[in-house]
């Protein structure tokens, strides 16, 4: 169970964020701010204490804090994002993270790692090898995780920005997964809830303390989740963040602190 979350609301410069989804249009920063506020309220409803950072006027991708750190039950890893324009976001967020963790390590060059490519399943971490996360970054992460008694394995990605763009662990042995990734041998032993091909964005669904946060507007995925799992569901508007490749998990770092207040 999580007790805390770190978030950073969007700034006006969200319109300049990196995107592979340009046909969807340019995001409206004011609407994005309202969608972000609804997201924060949902986290609060899930019994989370939310630490809000200030909007980052120099970092258009600043709201996507998940990519900048991996927060485990035993320590934190500051990443080295694969997009050069995002590298300094990790340092920007580090002071807030250090306030909650006794042990903090970092990925170093030439490794790159976006934590959106890392999926935790109990004591095992699946690391997607993508355009943003390279083999050296995955190797460094595996070595850090081993210090804490965790295991890690890599998953090659042919499609999707991040691993968690295509698969989400929903606890209780369930994965929400795209059709394209469903045949991946690493995930063969899980109960798979398949996302319809036309609703792939909904694969990034977020489990928070026995509640599922699901992007609204994807009715077939929602119906499959309700059939597969008896968990409460909160649907949230994510349209403005979808325009810049952002998903539900991207917008927060969720954790239990290891450092006493």
Euclidean distance between CA atoms 132 and 124, whole angstroms: 21
In angstroms, rounded to a whole number, what is the distance separating the alpha carbons of residues 36 and 120? 24
Query: Rounded to an integer, what distance in angstroms lies between the CA atom of residue 131 and that of residue 115?
Result: 13
User: Which of these is catalytic: 36, 46, 174, 250?
Assistant: 250
For residue 32, CA distances in Å to 14, 188, 253 come to 9, 37, 18
162 is an active site residue: yes
User: Which secondary structure element, helix H or strand E, spans residue 222, and what is its range?
Assistant: helix 219-228
Query: Is 36 among the residues known to form the active site?
Result: no
> Edge to edge, what strands does the sheet with 233-236 contain?
206-208, 211-215, 233-236
C-alpha–C-alpha distance, residues 71 and 195, integer Å: 27
Dist. CA 118–CA 115, nearest whole Å: 5
Return all residues near 95 (Cβ < 8 A) that are at least 6 apart: none
Under 8 Å between Cβ of 153 and 186: yes
Catalytic hit among 36, 46, 162, 174: 162
Task: Tell me how long the chain is.
Answer: 261
Residue 189, both tokens: 């032993």
Asked if 56 and 91 touch (Cβ cutoff 8 Å), the reply is no
Instruction: Please state whether the peptide bond connecting residue 173 to the residue before it is cis, i.e. omega within 30 degrees of 0.
Output: no
Provide the annotated active-site residues.
Answer: 162, 250
């Amino acid at each position: 169970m999580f007790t805390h979350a770190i978030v950073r609301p969007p700034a006006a410069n969200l319109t300049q964020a990196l995107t592979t989804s340009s046909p969807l249009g340019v995001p409206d920063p004011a609407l994005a701010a309202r969608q972000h506020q609804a997201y924060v309220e949902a986290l609060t409803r899930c019994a989370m204490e939310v630490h809000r950072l200030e909007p980052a006027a120099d970092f258009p991708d600043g709201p996507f804090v998940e990519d900048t750190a991996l927060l485990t039950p035993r320590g934190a890893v500051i990443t080295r994002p694969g997009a050069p324009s995002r590298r300094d976001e990790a340092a920007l967020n580090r002071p807030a993270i250090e306030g909650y963790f006794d042990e903090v390590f970092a990925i170093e060059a030439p490794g790159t790692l976006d934590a959106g490519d890392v999926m935790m399943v109990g004591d095992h971490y699946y690391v997607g090898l993508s355009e943003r996360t390279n083999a050296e970054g995955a190797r460094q992460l595996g070595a850090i995780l081993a210090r804490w008694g965790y295991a890690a394995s890599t998953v090659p990605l042919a499609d999707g920005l991040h691993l968690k763009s295509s698969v989400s662990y929903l606890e209780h042995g369930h994965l929400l997964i795209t059709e394209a990734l469903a045949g991946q041998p690493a995930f063969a032993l899980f109960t798979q809830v398949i996302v319809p091909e036309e609703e792939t964005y909904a694969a990034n669904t977020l489990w928070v303390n026995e509640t599922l946060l699901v992007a609204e507007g994807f009715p077939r995925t929602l119906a499959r989740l309700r059939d597969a799992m008896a968990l409460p569901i909160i649907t949230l508007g994510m349209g403005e963040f979808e325009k810049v490749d952002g998903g539900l998990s991207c917008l927060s770092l969720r954790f239990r602190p290891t450092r006493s207040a």
